[in-house]
Structure 1
Amino acid sequence: MDRSPATGAGHDEHAAGCACPRTADLDGDGIAASSRRTFLQRASALGAGAAGATGLLGAAPAYASDGNGNAAAAGADDDPYGRTTTEPAARGKWSPDPDNPRFTVVVMPDTQYMFDQDRIHPVPVEASFRYVLDPKGRAGGNDPNIVFLAHLGDVTNNGLAEEFTAATKAFGMLDRAGASYAVLAGNHDVHGDDQRGDTPYLDTFSVARARKRPSHHASSPDGYNTAHIFRAGGRKWMLLALDWRLSDAGFAWANAVIADNPTLPVIVTTHEIVGSYDDGTAGLSGYGQQMWDRLIKDNDQIFLTLNGHYWPPGSTVMKNSAGHDVHLHITNYQDRYYGGAGMIRSYRFDLDRGRIDVATFSPWIRELAAKKQMNALASQELELTSSVDYFSMEIDFDERFSGFAPIPPRKPRPARRMLLPGTLAYWRFDEGGSGTDVADGTVVKDQTGNGNDLVLRTVPGTSAHALVRTDDHHPDQPGHGSLVFAGQGNPVSGSYLQTVDRAPINRETFARGYTFEAFFKVPADWDGGRNGWSSMLSRVGTAAQAGKNGPGSTAEEPILTLGLSSSIELQWNAYPLNQDGATTAWSHLLQKEEWWHVAVVNDGRISKLYVNGCEEGRNPTSTAIGLTALDMPFLLGGYQWNGKIDQVFHGSIGDVRITNRALSPAQFMNA
């Protein structure tokens, strides 16, 4: 579809009060009523700024075939503007990574000026399809895991059979590769609603053709609406490709498909929902209001809608009936150089970061640039970076989808499942009532049965409730409980735990390697001045006592510390058997009120620090063999300086496990 200047009046097809652009080629029924030539004449008189596409596309030669159903070049190979098609993409296998938390959905809006009577020129569209299909061959590409392509309608300009003949050959590139994609009809492709019957559009993009796509889930009886399900980021997603105008039957079908798949997040694509204001925001059109009222607002699964039809691009966020955000985007570039130059949008999902990063560019122009065939106008369309074309959306996917697809909490795992070969000690705190104090005389049993039990120690003068049981825990923690330490420093107070005097682990040197793991959280009132340089886990005995006086040694510090700096950075500081100084690894700055898993792994030579299963630090230039031992206890929550308790941890500690060999992240307790 095409835009004429917004007037603020006469918006018969728009919602009341909406300043969306008024279209120049709609009659009162919202049906295409004029050819592109007539529209451009009107737009020229109105100053619509669409003339940039006119002469270029009008000069393109007619589409040709080699007589065998293959696209044939009608111009010189070195003239991308004179050719009607490029070489088809090599046959390839559509094989995106379905479990990667980073994936891309590509959107292609109105391509009508590429398929326009005797001005057919599919080269830009084919270049976009090559980009989608060839993850290794994209010049300047940043979408290694494309999982779906969605066309937003107005495939052709006049809905003519010869236009679709050209279009079907271009889309055949996707079919041959077995790609997941969706096409829908725009007002330049069809007239009336989805009960219109047979058309060249439906002859081309038939139900039979749709069923061959790996993503196809269902088609409406009329054939104009399709539902697609694809797997990405380790879960299934639905995309609805809906006709330009839904009938009552069409709305009923779309609602039923969503209801039949009640746990799937849904993206709705159609030709018209919102139009844009001059500031880049968007508002519902008249038909868009129907879509909102009859489909979108009461289906909480719909979190994103994409449409073309109007220009320029824009977006808005609306609250649905469940009070959740729905992002509504319009994207269309037919008004720009070369009728949009096959421009596409990449919606780059990152489930780990909770973001969708949006980029807009022309793969065709990228190809021209690589061949040094790009002209001055094309160079300005290589990539669009305005705020409406290049932006990010923050979405907490788990929270947004919790109303229809809540993630069940991970069940506790029996202690015996955590006892991997080489496990020396495993402590968990899921016994006893939540909110109860750990009483004097309490013994926390070592789950391995090796006798590395923990006993309570309290700094004299400590107030009550210094060590409390709680059900709070890291979501991936095996035991569903933790201990809340109310320790302080300056002056020191609190309660902590230590291994019993005859615990075998007290004399362990870990000469062949080790893995130390712990879950922990610091509260909102954690203060670097009072609580910094405290430890979740440490070992009694000083560097001086161990005879460690080389570079990097500090005589008064413990021979092993896994703790936090005053800025809530993890620090592993330990004295290996083969060094007179300490080996140290650090993490990034961690946040308060968030559960963390830390693991320190040594393979007998190199030590590595992991946070939430991600490697953070190592000692790559120095060999660190084993750990110095003085046959003295390990402390859980306590830290000594010069042989005396100097700090007690302030925060929560969950399961702790110590193993005498290097574990892989897949073997960690949070895996």
Structure 2
Amino acid sequence: MLTLPSILGDADIPFAMVPGNHDYDNYNWYSDNNGPGSNRPLKGATVWNQYFGANSHHFANKSWYRGGGAYGNDMNSFQIIDKDDFKFLHLALEMEPTTDDLLWAQRVLDGNPNLPVIITTHEWLVPSLDKNSPWANDYDAYFKGTSHLSPDKVWDRFVRKNKNIFMILSGHAWTPTVEGISNGENLRIDKNDDGYPVYQLLQDYQGNTIGPDGKPGSANGGGGWLRFIEFDTEAKKIHFYTYSTLLNKYAGKNGERTFNIPAEYSDFELDFPPQLLN
């Protein structure tokens, strides 16, 4: 087993990792513009297991980590977060999870029927400013012919039927970079079968390349932009804000269109949904 440093793990702060398209064993970086090339459909988790599996340095012997995917590949996991009487379940799902992944996930939720649930998965929304923007769908590009399910099917078969799911976090999608700026943010809210809202968010900053010198292309890999989420248990509000560790700057402050989109996509509040109040 590898022994790698882990700031969060060594501090015993619960966290999870979710795989994206680049994390499958047969992803081909050297053909079709760094796409999967002839290696479709994507499959395999040997390298993922080595670095981020249940027996990795990050998660081995952590009481809050519950590993185990549908095929024992650890690309799916769940964590119980319990802090100051605020307790919820975090469900980490692989990209476009399979039907068996969802059967496993349903067993997890059935075993924890009273916990509110946050899902993190690699692909869910596109970076559109339309409040009713479509779910993302790269099924044909990566998983065609397999039992993987696109986000709209995951919604219909799993999310909408489980009233305790109140939030879905995702990445993967971003707009082409123009003068160092890219949009990788979105918010969509749909009601589940019980009439409860489900907050669905995209946050992907990899296309932003403006560094401390203010020049496009001077910062690779997203310019240090991160999305933070704060739960105010007294005010019953969830605050979403975006910060760059590289630039020491907050996006969307004072109405600034940091990513050439309205500021409220970068810094906003949402009410606690019923799933957190029951």
Length-normalised TM-score, structure 2: 0.72
Between the aligned partners of 2:41 and 2:195, the Cα distance in structure 1 is: 31
Aligned match for 1:391, one of 234, 247, 268: 268
1:217 paired to 2:66: yes
Contact 2:48 2:75 in 1 (8 A): no
Measured after TM superposition, the shift of residue 211 of structure 1 is 3.5
Question: Structure 2 vs 1, CA of residues 212 and 384 (structure 1 numbering), >3 Å: closer, same or farther?
Answer: farther
Aligned partners of 1:300 and 1:324 also within 8 Å: yes
Tell me if structure 1 keeps the 8 A contact 2:87–2:115: yes
**What whole-Å deviation, never above 9, does each CA across 1:463-499 have from its counterpart, x for those lacking one?**
xxxxxxxxxxxxxxxxxxxxxxxxxxxxxxxxxxxxx
Q: Secondary structure at the match of 1:180?
A: coil
Q: Distance in 2 between matches of 1:282 and 1:247?
A: 23
Query: For the residues of structure 1 that align with 2:236 and 2:52, how far apart are their CA atoms?
Result: 35
Pairing 1:313–2:199 present: no
Equivalent position to 1:400, from 267, 275, 278: 275
The whole-number CA distance in structure 2 between the counterparts of 1:268 and 1:249 is: 16
Residue aligned with 1:231, SS: strand
Aligned to 1:347, what secondary structure does the other structure show? strand
Q: How far apart, CA to CA, are the structure 1 residues paired with 2:267 and 2:132?
A: 14
Alpha carbons of structure 1 residues 355 and 280: separation in structure 2 relative to 1, 3 Å: same
Label 1:270 to 1:313 Cα distance change in 2 as closer, same or farther (>3 A).
same
> Is the CA contact 1:276–1:283 (under 8 Å) kept in the aligned structure 2?
no
Give the equivalent residue in structure 1 for 2:227.
Answer: 345
CA distance in 1 between counterparts of 2:131 and 2:251 reads 14
Partner of 2:166: 303
Structure 1 position 244, deviation (Å): 1.0
**SS of corresponding position for 1:364:** coil
| Per-residue Cα deviation, 1:25-48 (whole angstroms, up to 9, x for no partner) | xxxxxxxxxxxxxxxxxxxxxxxx
Of 200, 207, 211, the match for 1:335: 207
Distance 1:264-1:187 versus aligned 2 partners, 3 A rule: same
Q: Given residue 64 of structure 2, which amino acid in structure 1 is its aligned partner?
A: S
Q: Distance in 2 between matches of 1:298 and 1:181?
A: 26
Output one character per residue of 1:204-242: Cα deviation in whole Å (capped at 9) or x when no partner: 111112243342134222211010001134132100111
Structure 2 portions without partners, runs of 5+: 28-39, 138-149, 175-183, 210-218, 253-262
Measured in 2, the distance between the counterparts of 1:304 and 1:261 equals 17
Contact 2:242 2:267 in 1 (8 A): yes
Deviation at 1:189, TM superposition (A): 1.5
Q: How does 1:440-479 map to 2 (within 5 A)?
A: none
* 1:279 CA displacement: 4.8
User: Which has the higher mean CA deviation after the structures are superposed, 335-344 or 383-392?
Assistant: 335-344
Aligned ranges 1:365-514 → 2 under 5 Å: 365-366=247-248, 382-385=249-252, 386-396=263-273, 399-401=274-276, 406=278
SS at match of 2:55: helix
- SS of 1:330's equivalent? strand
The DSSP-based 3-state class of the residue aligned with 2:162 is: coil
Kept after mapping to 1: 8 A contact 2:96/2:151: no
Tell which has more relative contact order, 1 or 2 (C-alpha 8 A, sep 6+): 2
Deviation at 1:400, TM superposition (A): 3.4
1:270 matched to 2:94? The reply is: no
Query: Mapping of 1:521-532 within 5 angstroms?
Result: none
Instruction: Write the deviation string for residues 340-394 of structure 1: whole angstroms up to 9, x where unpaired.
Output: 123211111012111101110022333xxxxxxxxxxxxxxx2211211111101
Partner of 1:364: 246
Q: RMSD between aligned alpha carbons?
A: 2.3
Alignment of 1:138-153 (within 5 A): none
Q: Is the 8 A contact 1:184 1:271 kept in 2?
A: yes
- Partner residue in 2 for 1:259: 110
Mapped partners of 1:335, 1:179: distance in 2:
29
Shift in Å, 1:401:
4.4
Amino acid at match of 1:298: K
**Using a 3 Å threshold, how does the CA distance of structure 1 residues 346 and 193 change in structure 2: closer, same or farther?**
farther
Are residues 281 and 330 of structure 1, via their aligned partners in 2, closer, same or farther at CA, if it must alter by over 3 Å?
Answer: farther
Structure-2 separation of matches of 1:193 and 1:350? 42
Distance 2:78 2:49 in 1: 16
Q: Is the 8 A contact 1:309 1:332 kept in 2?
A: yes
Distance across 2 between alignment mates of 1:310 and 1:198? 22
Question: Are 1:284 and 2:147 an aligned pair?
Answer: no
Partner of 1:326: 198
Distance 2:224 2:134 in 1: 25
Match of 1:205 in 2: 52
Q: Does the 8 Å contact 1:193/1:246 carry over to 2? A: no
Q: CA 1:245/1:202 → structure 2, altered by over 3 Å: closer, same or farther?
A: farther
Structure 1 residue 291 displacement after superposition: 1.6
Contact kept? 2:67, 2:74, Cα under 8 Å: no
Does the aligned pair in 2 maintain the 1:265–1:301 contact within 8 Å? yes
Would the alpha carbon gap of residues 193 and 180 (structure 1) be closer, same or farther in structure 2, given more than 3 Å must change?
farther
CA shift at 1:248, angstroms? 1.9
Contact 1:186–1:243, Cα closer than 8 Å, also in 2: yes
Question: Within 2, Cα distance between the matches of 1:342 and 1:383?
Answer: 11
Aligned length: 218
SS of the residue corresponding to residue 212 of structure 1 reads coil
2:168 corresponds to which letter in structure 1? Answer: T
Aligned equivalents of 2:115, 2:50: Cα separation in 1: 30
Output the CA distance in 2 between the equivalents of 1:390 and 1:285. Answer: 23
Larger radius of gyration: 1
| Change beyond 3 A, Cα 1:389–1:248 | same
Aligned to 2:73, the other structure's residue is in SS state coil
